Amino acid sequence: MTDTPDKGRRPLLSLPVNPDSPASTSPPAIAAALSPEPATVPVVLPDSDEKPPRHPPRIPAAPAIRQLYWCDFPQDGHLPEFWKRRPVLIVSWKNTRSGAVTVIPCSSQDQGENPWAYQLTTTVDGVGPSWAICDKPTTVAVSRLTSDKKGVRRLPVAEFNEILALMFRWLPKL
């Protein structure tokens, strides 16, 4: 392991510098932008033996398949990852309050051009249109879930089965 300013951390990879950012107007950044090779900055990640903290669940019972919750995705997400609070549909079964669940993220942004999005008739808050993004199944900790202030909604079986069928069409066939 090499010495780095962040003791106990090591650079894992380098990422291109965004030439549109304000920090990109310094002379080294301008020179790097003009060079034939893209400039990079090191990304420092924790050593493999550092575990993230365990958080207590915020919901009173284990989430059930077909239920809609709000999920607090990590704020340090990398686009196109999901990174903010958004609705999710539970697609895993036999879940516990202390484990992880597989979800399909949802969005209120019109997904008309996305062939893998399904417009929901049931939404987490009962307000406005929402789409299940079926090509982005994700596993998250149950501690990231919260219910809507009006309670937990559950998709009808027929609607859920259509969403699963779309997700399974997206998955590769072996």
Q: Summarize pLDDT for 71-82 with one digit per residue, the tens.
A: 999 888 888 888
Domain with CATH 2.30.30.110 in the chain: 67-170
Instruction: Mark the ranges of the chain whose per-residue pLDDT is less than 50.
Output: 1-15, 21, 23-25, 33
Query: Can you spell out the DSSP letters for 142-154?
Result: GGGEE-BTTB-EE
| pTM of the full structure | 0.71
53 token code pair = 């903290």
- Which three-class secondary structure state does DSSP give residue 90? strand
- CA–CA gap between residue 18 and residue 94 (Å, rounded): 44
Contacts for 106 with CB less than 8 Å, ≥ 6 apart: 68, 86, 87, 88, 89, 120, 123, 124, 130, 131, 132, 133
pLDDT value of residue 2: 46
pLDDT value of residue 50: 82
Does CATH number 1.10.3720.10 belong to domain 67-170?
no
Of residues 80, 38, 81, 60, the one with CA closest to residue 146: 60
Q: Summarize pLDDT for 24-35 with one digit per residue, the tens.
A: 445 555 555 455
- CA–CA gap between residue 172 and residue 174 (Å, rounded): 6
